[in-house]
Chain A
Amino acid sequence: MIMPILLIVYYSFLDIHGNFTLANYQKFFTPVYLKMTLSSFWYALLITAVSLLVAYPTAFLLTRTKYKQLWLLLIILPSWINLLLKAYSFIGIFGTYGFANALLEVFGIGKKQILFTDFSFIFVSVYIFIPFMILPIFNALDKLNPSFIDASRDLGASGWTTFRRVIFPLTFDGVKSGCQVVFIPALSLFMLTRLIAGNRVITLGTAVEQHFLVTQDWGMGSTIAVFLIISMVIIMLLTGNKKRGGVG
Chain B
Amino acid sequence: MKKKSLSTIYLTIVFLILYAPIFYLMYYSFNSGGKMYEFESFSLEWYKDLFQNTRLLIIVLNTIIIALLSSAISTILGTIGAVGIWHLKKRQTKNVLLSLNNILIVSPDVIIGASFLIMFTIVGIKLGFSSVLLSHIAFSVPIVVIMVLPKLQEMSSTLIDAAKDLGASNFNVLTKVILPYITPGIFAGFFMALTYSLDDFAVTFFVTGNGFSTLSVEIYSMARQGVSLTINALSTILFLFTILLVIGYYFISKRNGRIIGLGARK
Instruction: Enumerate chain B residues within 8 angstroms of A84, measured Cβ to Cβ.
Output: 201, 216, 219-220, 223, 227
Residues in chain B within 8 A of chain A (CB atoms) = 7, 10-11, 14-15, 17-22, 24-25, 36-37, 91, 95, 98-100, 102-108, 110-112, 114-116, 118-119, 138, 141, 143, 146-147, 149-151, 153-154, 184-185, 188, 191-192, 194-195, 198-199, 201, 215-216, 219-220, 223, 227, 231-232, 235, 238-239, 242-243, 246-247, 250, 259, 261-265
Assess whether B247 is in contact with A70, with CB atoms less than 8 Å apart: yes
User: Which residue of chain B has the shortest Cβ distance to A8 in the bound complex?
Assistant: B111
Contact A77 B184 (CB under 8 A): no
The verdict on A92 contacting chain B, using a C-beta distance below 8 Å, is: yes
Q: Is the CB of B219 within 8 A of A82?
A: yes
Contact A228 B102 (CB under 8 A): no
B7 contact set on A, CB distance < 8 A: 61, 64
Instruction: Let me know if B107 and A225 touch, CB within 8 A.
Output: yes
Cβ-defined partner of A80 (8 Å) among B10, B184, B195? B195
Q: A69-B250, A85-B219 are in contact. Are A7 and B119 (CB under 8 A)?
A: yes
User: Does the CB pair B108–A83 fall under 8 Å?
Assistant: no
From A209, which residue of chain B is reached at the shortest CB distance? B110
Question: A131 contacts B195, CB within 8 Å?
Answer: yes
Most chain B CB within 10 A, of A80, A86, A221, is at A80
Nearest-neighbor residue (CB-CB) of B4 within chain A: A64
Cβ-neighbour of A188 out of B24, B108, B220, B265 (below 8 A)? B108
Q: Is the C-beta of A93 less than 8 angstroms from some C-beta in chain B?
A: yes
The interface residues of chain A lying within 8 Å CB-to-CB of B150 are: 136, 139-140, 173-174, 176-177
Q: How many residue pairs between the two chains, A and B, have CB atoms under 8 Å in the bound complex?
A: 228
Contact of B264 (CB < 8 Å), options: A64, A65, A69:
A69
Partner of B95 from the list A73, A88, A213, A237 (CB cut-off 8 Å) is: A237
The docked-state distance in angstroms from the alpha carbon of A61 to that of B216 is: 34
- Which of chain A's residues have a CB closer than 8 A to the CB of B22? 78, 81, 86, 89
- Expressed in whole angstroms, the Cα–Cα distance for A41 and B241 within the complex equals 39
Q: Is the interface of B mostly helix, strand, loop or mixed?
A: helix
Q: Which of B143, B231, B243 contacts A181 (CB 8 A)?
A: B143
Residue of B nearest to A208 (CB): B108
**Chain B residues within an 8 Å CB radius of A140:** 150, 154
A72 at the interface (CB under 8 A from B): yes
Measured CA separation A2–B138 after assembly (Å)? 10
How big is chain A's contact interface, by range?
Answer: 35 or more
Q: Are A74 and B235 in contact (CB under 8 A)?
A: no
Q: Can you list, as one digit per residue, whether each of A32-56 has a CB less than 8 Å from chain B (1) or not (0)?
A: 0000000000000000000000100
Give the CA-CA distance A213 to B99 in the complex, in Å.
27
Q: Are B227 and A142 in contact (CB under 8 A)?
A: no
Given A78-B19, A86-B21, 7 new contacts (CB under 8 A): A81-B22, A82-B215, A84-B219, A89-B20, A140-B150, A188-B107, A228-B108
